[in-house]
Amino acid sequence: MAIALCATLGLGCKSMGEKKPGENYSLIMLYLEQNNDGTKYSREMAVYRADPIIFYVNSEPFLSTADLEKATLMEAVGGFAIQLQFNRHGTAVLESFTTSNKGKRMAIFCQFTEPRVLAAPMITRSNATGIIRFTPDCSREEATRILAGLNTAIKEIKGKGK
């Protein structure tokens, strides 16, 4: 998993030792629901810690932190939500996946202090906006830490691309 995290951020593993998810940065990965085919290409996920829903996803994420433009905390009825805004590449991928996979879930997995699925919204329509807003399975304090870490990671990734 550490190698995958290093590759996701484009960092050498030496840098990984200095940066721990949840302290300095967070990672986000979106996985698409699929049937459990019993191969290495499907992986079990659980969402909602209080009353878990178990489902299977493709083992490779279709979007990640590298596809993000920014992440923000939004006020919502009865609480708060996280909004992810994807870059041009991420927007195109999101539109493609949501157009062809209606009725499936997107597992929004976050690696921070505690790695877990924050939400698993059902794809109901094509998303060409490049924005996903969801109510996460975390406290407001955790959401604030996650977003600070995501935005730090986004800045670092953008800096590496120049």
Q: How do strand 116-119 and strand 106-111 relate by DSSP bridges?
A: antiparallel
Total count of domains within the chain: 1
Model-level pTM?
0.82
Range of the domain at 133: 2-161
Report residue 86 as tokens. 């994807």
| Segment 78-129, tens digit of pLDDT | 899 999 999 999 999 999 999 999 999 999 999 988 899 999 999 999 999 9
Task: Quote the DSSP letter at residue 114.
Answer: S
Q: What is the CATH number of the domain that holds 138?
A: 3.30.1360.200
User: Phi, psi (5° rounding) for residue 56?
Assistant: -110, 145
| Segment 18-63, tens digit of pLDDT | 555 545 789 999 999 999 988 899 999 999 988 999 999 999 999 9
